[in-house]
Amino acid sequence: TADGEVKTNEEGDKYVDLGRKRRATVRVFKGTSLRSNTVRQNRDDTDHRPGIPLIDIREYFDSGKDQKPGKKGISLKLEEWQALKQNADAIDAILSNVKTKD
């Protein structure tokens, strides 16, 4: 169940359970494909290089003894996460007008 408790996965990333085998995990992407050339050129200490924080919302599945991430999901950059939060009231308004099957 989604209880708001912050947990830690095997890699040390913090996450919250969203229910129905879904998680929101905060991780730092340290690869070079998303980083600017300026950051790469100005950093010579690779052990402490800056990364890009991502909010990874993903489904998980049971693989025997532990849970593994599935292909279904999305990773949001910090500015995308901020935009989603800023639009939460608008999304709630839209949802309140949607007819659902009960």
Q: Is 54 helix (H, G, I), strand (E, B) or coil?
A: strand
* pLDDT tens for each residue of 63-91: 877 788 888 899 999 999 999 999 999 99
Q: What is the pLDDT of residue 46?
A: 44
With 0-12 / 13-18 / 19 or more C-beta atoms within 10 angstroms meaning exposed / middle / buried, residue 54 is buried
pLDDT by residue, tens only, the chain of 102 residues: 567 799 998 888 899 999 888 999 998 887 654 444 444 444 444 445 578 899 999 998 888 777 888 888 999 999 999 999 999 999 999 999 887 776
CA–CA separation, 22 and 58 (whole Å): 6
Query: Do residues 34 and 53 lie in contact, with contact meaning Cβ atoms separated by under 8 Å?
Result: no
